[in-house]
Amino acid sequence: MFNKPLLPCLLAMLCSLSSTVAADTLDSVQQRGHLKCGVTTGVPGFSMPNTRGEWNGLDVDLCRAIAAATLGDASKTKFVPLTTKERFTALQSGEVDVLTRNTTWNQTRDSQLGLNFAGINFYDGQGFMVMKDLGVTRLDQMDGATICIQSATTSEQNLADYFRFKEMSYKTVVFETNAQALQGFEARRCDLFTTDTSQLYGHRLTMQAPAEAMILPEIISKEPLGPVVRQGDDRWFRVVKWTHNAMINAEELGVTAANAETMKQSQNPDIRRLLGVEGPRGKGLDLPRDWVYQVITQVGNYGESFERNLGQRSPLKIARGLNALWVDGGLHYAPPIR
Ligand SMILES: N[C@@H](CCC(=O)N[C@@H](CS)C(=O)NCC(=O)O)C(=O)O
């Protein structure tokens, strides 16, 4: 009866009328005393629980940073695992305060779901993994391939575009979680496994025989991943946006978890404003004057988070590439704090 793409939108409208969704998320987070972040059901390097059930990853760090900024304590977080299908509804209905869950920013999601993207914390692109013994080195050799993929993702749409444009045929085997999709690939139910390239590197490490698989060189899409909030709550939108900006600016200014305390003595005006020694401090964001100091001392700057979760200090060893700062030839460029 309903046009399917309109359903999430109708739901968002209904939810905005219901009392379960707080009109002012900052208020409700501060009253509740903890922050609820929607994360994945497990993607190495982005959001993944360890054996003690503690969540780690770049997206988990962003969530903890928002808790540090708003509650003064990065540990005041609850992580709600959400599949690709569940993620937008969970945010629309108020089950979570923010999605920090490798989610691609595109026009439809930004305009038709009652949601706002608050920044880009990882520049990604869609890639493909193949078993080496297939003897394939390029994607255009894969006409007629069977492909393991997760439902309700931009990956499904890009795949259709790419194969149609190249006039190649393919079949998909669709799974609800990425763990299932990977299992399908390992069990050789498909020739290819596709998702965002960064996730392919992570998933490959969790395979029983990672050396048997390789990632093809083609990147077929732009996948700018970032945090998402509900529309109509500008105060909260600003808080999430500026927490991310603060982590990028801190890296650019060389302010780290270890040196933030001594950096308060710096005479560099940008550093003094960043750390709330002078300048706007939390004014206008309705945050305490030391909000960035709390973020950086408790979580670290963007580069520290990247290296520990995805980079050289992690098992994934992903190069900074597009995710380097603009001053190093990458794309991360945050508006200044002043
Ligand atoms: N960036 C794409 C795909 C992101 C995505 O969610 N990918 C899968 C990876 S296969 C995932 O995170 N799965 C984990 C889960 O569903 O919990 C999107 O936003 O649609």
Query: Which of ligand 1's atoms lies nearest the C-alpha of 81?
Result: 17
Q: Is the CB of 221 under 6 A from ligand 1?
A: no
pLDDT recorded at residue 312 = 95
Distance from residue 316's CA to the centre of ligand 1 (Å): 17
Q: How confident is the model at residue 16 (pLDDT cuts 50, 70, 90)?
A: very low
pLDDT recorded at residue 178 = 82
Please state, rounded to an integer, the average pLDDT across all residues of the chain.
94
Distance from residue 169's CA to the centre of ligand 1 (Å): 24
Distance from residue 181's CA to the centre of ligand 1 (Å): 11
Q: Is the CB of 83 under 6 A from ligand 1?
A: yes
Q: Is the CB of 153 under 6 A from ligand 1?
A: yes
pLDDT tens digit sequence for 71-129: 999 999 999 999 999 999 999 999 999 999 999 999 999 999 999 999 999 999 999 99
Round to whole Å and give the CA distance between 95 and 80.
9
pLDDT tens digit sequence for 187-233: 999 999 999 999 999 999 999 999 999 999 999 999 999 999 999 99
Q: Is the CB of 84 under 6 A from ligand 1?
A: yes
Q: How confident is the model at residue 1 (pLDDT cuts 50, 70, 90)?
A: very low
Distance from residue 263's CA to the centre of ligand 1 (Å): 38
Q: Is the CB of 40 under 6 A from ligand 1?
A: yes
Pair of tokens at residue 139: 């994607």
Q: How confident is the model at residue 179 (pLDDT cuts 50, 70, 90)?
A: confident
Between 80 and 23, name the one with better pLDDT.
80
Distance from residue 231's CA to the centre of ligand 1 (Å): 22
Does pLDDT of 300 surpass 90? yes
3-state per-residue secondary structure call for the chain: CCCHHHHHHHHHHHHHHCCCCCCCHHHHHHHHCCEEEEECCCECCCEEECCCCCEECHHHHHHHHHHHHHHCCCCCEEEEECCCCCHHHHHHCCCCCEECCCCECCHHHHHHCCEEECCCCEEECEEEEEEHHHCCCCHHHCCCEEEEEECCCHHHHHHHHHHHHCCCCEEEEEECCHHHHHHHHHCCCCCEEEEEHHHHHHHHHCCCCHHHEEECCCCCCCEEECCEEECCCHHHHHHHHHHHHHHHHHHHCCCCCCCHHHHCCCCCHHHHHHCCCCCCCCCCCCCCCCHHHHHHHHCCCHHHHHHHHCCCCCCCCCCCHHHCEHHHCCCECCCCCC
Q: How confident is the model at residue 23 (pLDDT cuts 50, 70, 90)?
A: confident
Q: Which of 195, 205, 219, 220 to mutate to test ligand 1, by most ligand atoms within 8 A of the CB atom?
A: 195
> For the ranges 4-18, 181-195, 231-245, which has the lowest average pLDDT?
4-18
Q: Is the CB of 154 under 6 A from ligand 1?
A: yes
Distance from residue 291's CA to the centre of ligand 1 (Å): 31
Residue ranges of domains in the chain, CATH in brackets: 20-123+225-315 (3.40.190.10), 126-221 (3.40.190.10)
Q: How confident is the model at residue 177 (pLDDT cuts 50, 70, 90)?
A: confident
| Mean pLDDT for the stretch of residues 310-324 | 96
Round to whole Å and give the CA distance between 214 and 234.
44
